[in-house]
Amino acid sequence: MVETSRQPAPLREHLESLETRSALLIQHHVLAAMRQRLSTMGFVEMLPPIIGPVTDPGVRGSKQVDIDYYGHRYKLMTSAILYKQASLLAFDKIFCVAPNVRLEPPQTASTGRHLTEFHQLDVEIADGSRDDAMNVAEDVIVHAVRHVISELPDQLEALGRDSGAFTELLHQPFDRITHSRAVQNLTDLGHPQSPDAEIDWTGEKILSSKVARPVFITDYPKGSRGFYDRESRDTADVLRNFDLIAPEGYGELISGSEREFEYARIVTRMRETGENPAKYGWYLRMVKDGIRGSAGFGLGVERLIRYIAGLEYIWQAAAYPKLPGQVSP
């Protein structure tokens, strides 16, 4: 699979194409299958906000979008993570499907897997561990892929996607490696990956192209992620988090973690990551009154559809694609 920067067709042509129709039908079925699976596992679907006084602080150079909200400076959600923690005041296990807006650096338009407006399936489990979140993530992906193969073989065939690509995914547990092991693997392959940072986009693609089924990368170094990823109580400067990397060069599908939930630790982590606690007033008041520990993840819907459908570009999995640095309808 070679990633280039081919642009979407004009909107009418894009929406009328058989390729788009097949991708969106797969998306419809995947979302229905994941909703059904999570519901049978006791999860409650909630509708998260799309604006708020603060949002996920973001990483890798993406910027937030400010709006005027009755004279106050509010944000469009880059992630519902803070609201997922709040939602556990109502239910023990929740999920949501929500739009996210991140102004990614313009150069990411050439990766084939970045959009500025995208959707996530977000999951959160009260009193859950990282393993709980990883197990749910694996379960819903396997269920969705099996559903598509069973119910939409004609759409896969129309897209030229061989269902044999999913044999190992369906019949073998997902692999798990630590961040330090991933860094060593990349170093051995000649890629200069920093041991103190997230796996960079090139590194992700290299690792992704070397595996036959999805692989979880765990234990990212402290400082590489936001203040909400829980620091290990056993290993200094290591976070209890994970990414899920798809095979065939498709890269990251999911990010998740156990969450920090103690007031003093959250404020300390905010300061360590350069965040101003004063911006997070509503969130910190809630934390001070007491919230439950939890674990969860966010799954990129369009990224998952791109992988299942075997698409070259992520915009092929979106009805109204918005690429970084480009003005779109």
Q: How confident is the model at residue 59 (pLDDT cuts 50, 70, 90)?
A: low
Decide if 223 contacts 204 (C-beta within 8 A).
Answer: no
- 98: β partners: 120
Q: Where are the domains of the chain?
A: 11-317
* Local structure of residue 217 (DSSP, 8 states): E
Residue 126 contacts residue 93 (beta carbons within 8 Å): yes
What does the alpha-carbon distance between residue 250 and residue 6 come to, in Å, rounded to a whole number?
16
Cα 325 to Cα 315: distance, rounded to the nearest angstrom: 14
Architecture of the structural domain at 11-317? 2-Layer Sandwich (3.30)
**What mean pLDDT comes out for the span 124-149?**
98
What is the average per-residue pLDDT within 67-83?
A: 95
Max Cα–Cα distance, the chain, nearest Å: 55
* Both tokens assigned to 74: 């509010």
Q: What's the CA gap between 307 and 310, in Å, rounded?
A: 5
Whether pLDDT at 229 is above 90? yes
pLDDT above 90 for 7: no
How far is the C-alpha of 83 from the C-alpha of 91, rounded, in Å?
Answer: 13
Compute the Cα dihedral for 219, 221, 225, 231 and give only its sign: positive
Which pLDDT tens digit goes with each residue over 137-164? 999 999 999 999 999 999 999 999 999 9
- Using the 8-state DSSP alphabet, how is residue 63 labeled? B
Cα(159)–Cα(307) distance, integer angstroms = 12
Report pLDDT digits (tens) over 34-50. Answer: 999 999 999 999 999 99
Q: Which residues contact 204 (CB under 8 A, 6 or more apart)?
A: 245, 251, 252
**pLDDT-derived band at 61, boundaries 50, 70, 90:** confident
Find the range with the poorest average confidence among 7-16, 106-115, 145-154, 176-185. Answer: 106-115
Beta strand 215-218 with 241-246 is antiparallel
Confidence of residue 56 (pLDDT cuts 50, 70, 90): confident
**For the chain, where are the alpha helices, taking DSSP H only?**
11-16, 18-40, 81-87, 130-151, 153-158, 167-171, 179-188, 201-209, 263-272, 281-289, 301-309
Looking at residue 110, what is its pLDDT?
Answer: 84
- Asked if pLDDT for residue 186 goes beyond 80, the answer is yes
According to DSSP, residue 173 is labeled P
Cα separation, 151 vs 4, in Å, equals: 31
Per-residue pLDDT at 277 exceeds 50: yes
- Length of the chain counted residue by residue: 329
Read off the pLDDT of residues 281-292 as tens digits, 9 standing for 90 and up: 999 999 999 999
Mean pLDDT of the chain: 95
pLDDT at 2: 35
Instruction: Return the pLDDT at 158.
Output: 96
Q: Is the pLDDT of residue 5 over 80?
A: no
Greater model confidence, 59 or 261: 261
Dist CA 141 CA 121 (whole Å): 11
User: By the 8 A CB rule, do 112 and 318 touch?
Assistant: no
pTM for this entry: 0.95
* Closest to 295 (Cα-Cα) out of 131, 119, 62, 56: 131
